[in-house]
Amino acid sequence: MLEPLRAFFTKVISPIANLLIRMGVSPDAVTFVGTLGVCAGALVFFPQKLLTGVLVITAFVFSDLIDGHMARTTGRVSKFGAFWDSTLDRVADGAIFIGLALYFAWEEPSRLYLVLSLVCLLMGSVTSYARSRGETLGFSVKVGIAERADRLVAILVMTGFSAIFDLPVLLYIALWALALASTITVGQRVWVVRKQAIAEASTTI
């Protein structure tokens, strides 16, 4: 859903990426620093100030575009780079929802939304794993209503608006929507892989 925006932002961050290349910074280092920044924004600031956390996370989340652009520009695209990027994406995503869980544990106590934050964390991770594992087995798994970029934009935008306008209901809606959408996406991917596996098995009989 957000691919057109990705192309736009890639053009925006190109000057930064080119500057880092001239400075001799590696794409893997940018990935690492970006993940540290997202984790700091989520784990340090979310439990205290949601808006500050959103701003810090947003500032660092663009590293996911910068490192990819740098790798393609310098020809340093590698299997390890893809593995490193994907692995740290899971860390960053997990940190965001852990930060929200801490917020509901400390700043605005709510067992329901603490648990819902953890559900989003779990199902978001399974969503990514289902696609990765399915593609490793040779199946096409690019389906689902909640891609990673969609989930990330939704939670950051709604969390930011809930803090700016003092409308916590916006965050609640986002968590319910993401929990449901992620669960549906996992189901979609399991179903697609199952159909392809059955079709593959029938052709070998």
Residue numbers annotated as active site: 89
Q: Which amino acid is at 138?
A: G
Distance CA 130, CA 141 (A): 8
CA distance 197 to 190: 10
Which residue in the block uniquely carries the two structure tokens 């098995």?
Answer: 201
Please list, in sequence order, all residues whose beta carbon lies within 8 angstroms of the beta carbon of residue 151, skipping any fewer than 6 positions away. 93, 120, 124, 178, 181, 182
Structure letter (DSSP) for residue 43: I
